[in-house]
């Protein structure tokens, strides 16, 4: 049985709770919080929760989604629930970093961020992707709405045909993900956390991901403009014709990519799996233009230069003098798809932690309320 959090205005009812918890029905305006059957949220260790979301497409109905959470050392949960106050912080708010695993991956892959967040003072949120409409299938994915399209790949038969896509009639050779609305899921999850009382700082929401998760991080930033202070995709890219520069203003970008990548080529074009991607140069250029940065990138140093050599040798360049945000790329000349250096989490946080949105006047609680209103 699972703890429940009912939200009336998210196209249906959402349920939020720790696996194994006793049920507790909450109203949208309630100050009550979900419980997790006596096991507290752990500092530095991912804890599992569930969220049942009604998809915007009524034909898909409700699906149970899973996500993991880890909190900093000074985070003080009230008993066994997500809502908390900061010890000695007078109700301080925390940055939130959301990590999206790659295809075939799991939320548990974000444990490195959970460990780092405990020391650095940020909350880690790791949603679980779906496969064929069921959580934890081997083929776990993030949808960028390529399902049913024929212009973003050069394939004869679908790589994967998901049950949800058959249900809604969006099957094409370019299918690789389910047809559930993952952007809606992330919006629903953020709103649920706000209602549960999780003290996230709405000015410091960050997203990262690898491979399919990196593609989704790019896509999510463009679909929710002005929500995230920074996006850090690892070997991710926009599909052809997906780049929407006008929606990228204000969100900083660090793109990390291997120059030997054939699955999502740094140079763009057709991949080894016959999908078409925007090049890193085009993506960085569009992001730089949207944020009023220099058109040309300048080589810059990071605290991790020289770490992991020779295999993880890399160099980074930044589009400087931005009107808003920051735009940077780190290239790994010797790496193909799927690499993960020992400093990946630290590089991600080093970049993201310097960025913050201007959420306007008021307290963090008032800014969280505005974030909720915007996402609902």
Enumerate helices (H) and strands (E) in the chain, giving the number of each: 7, 17
Residues of the domain holding 343: 236-355
Q: Is residue 43 part of a domain?
A: no
Distance CA 301, CA 218 (A): 24
Domain membership of residue 50 (yes or no) is no
Residue 119 lies in a domain: no
pLDDT tens per residue across span 102-124: 998 999 999 999 999 999 999 99
Measure the CA–CA gap between 328 and 209, rounded to whole angstroms. Answer: 16
Tell me the pLDDT band of 83, cut-offs 50, 70 and 90.
low
Q: What is the 3-state secondary structure (H, E, C) of 164-224?
A: HHHHHCCCCCCCCCCCCCHHHHHHHHHHHHHHHCCCEEEEEEEEEEECHHHHHHHHHHHHC
Question: What is the value of pTM for the model shown?
Answer: 0.89
Over range 347-360, report the average pLDDT.
Answer: 94
- In a domain, residue 45? The reply is no
Token pair, residue 152, equals 């973003």
pLDDT, tens only, 234-267: 999 999 999 888 899 999 999 999 999 999 999 9
Confidence of residue 78 (pLDDT cuts 50, 70, 90): low
Q: Of 76-80, 149-153, 299-303, 344-348, which range is least confident? A: 76-80
Q: How many domains does the chain have?
A: 1
Residue 335 inside a domain? The answer is yes
Question: Which has the closest alpha carbon to 248: 294, 283, 290?
Answer: 290
At 122-151, the pLDDT tens digits run 999 999 999 875 554 557 899 999 988 999
Edge to edge, the sheet with strand 62-70 lists 15-18, 47-54, 62-70, 123-127, 94-100, 200-210, 230-234, 252-258, 327-332, 315-319, 298-300
In a domain, 230, yes or no: no
User: What b-and-e string marks burial along 52-68, b requiring 16 or more CB atoms within 10 Å of the CB?
Assistant: bbbbebeebeebebbbb
Determine the average pLDDT of the residues in 84-90. 49
Q: What is the pLDDT of residues 167-198, one digit of tens each?
A: 999 988 898 899 999 999 999 999 999 988 88
Asked whether the predicted pLDDT for residue 313 surpasses 50, the reply is yes
Residue 205 is assigned to a structural domain of this protein: no
Task: Tell whether 55 is covered by a domain.
Answer: no
Q: Examine the pLDDT at 67 and tell me if it is beyond 60.
A: yes
């Amino acid at each position: 049985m699972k703890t429940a959090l009912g939200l009336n205005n998210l196209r249906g009812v959402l349920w939020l709770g720790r696996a194994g918890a006793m049920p507790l029905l909450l109203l949208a305006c309630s100050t009550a919080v979900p419980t997790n059957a006596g096991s507290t949220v752990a500092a530095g260790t991912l804890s599992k929760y569930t969220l049942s979301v009604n998809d915007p497409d009524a034909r898909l109905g409700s699906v149970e989604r899973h996500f993991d959470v880890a909190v900093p050392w000074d985070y003080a949960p009230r008993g066994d629930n997500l809502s908390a106050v900061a010890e000695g912080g007078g109700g301080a708010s925390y940055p939130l970093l959301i990590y999206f695993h790659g295809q075939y991956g799991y939320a548990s892959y974000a444990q490195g961020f959970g460990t780092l967040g405990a020391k650095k003072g940020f909350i880690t949120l790791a949603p679980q992707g779906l496969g064929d409409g069921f959580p934890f299938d081997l083929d776990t994915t993030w949808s960028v709405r390529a399902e049913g399209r024929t212009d973003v790949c050069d394939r004869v038969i679908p790589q994967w045909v998901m049950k949800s896509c058959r249900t809604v009639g969006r099957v094409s050779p370019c299918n690789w993900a389910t047809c559930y609305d993952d952007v809606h899921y992330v919006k629903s999850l953020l709103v649920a956390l706000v209602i549960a009382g999780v003290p996230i700082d709405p000015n410091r929401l960050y997203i990262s991901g690898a491979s399919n998760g990196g593609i989704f991080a790019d896509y999510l930033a463009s679909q929710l403009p002005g929500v995230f202070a920074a996006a850090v995709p690892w070997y991710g890219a926009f599909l052809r014709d997906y780049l929407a520069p006008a929606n990228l203003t204000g969100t900083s970008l660090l793109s990390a990519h291997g120059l030997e990548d054939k699955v999502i080529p740094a140079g763009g074009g057709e991949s080894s799996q016959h999908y078409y991607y925007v090049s890193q140069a085009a993506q960085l250029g569009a992001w730089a233009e949207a944020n009023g940065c220099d058109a040309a990138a300048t080589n810059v140093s990071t605290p991790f230069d020289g770490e992991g050599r020779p295999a993880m040798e890399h160099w980074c360049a930044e589009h400087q003098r931005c009107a808003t945000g920051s735009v940077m790329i780190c290239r790994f000349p010797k790496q193909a798809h799927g690499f993960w250096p020992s400093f990946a989490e630290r590089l991600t946080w080093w970049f993201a932690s310097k960025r913050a949105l201007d959420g306007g006047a008021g307290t963090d609680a008032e800014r969280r309320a505005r974030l909720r209103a915007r996402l609902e």
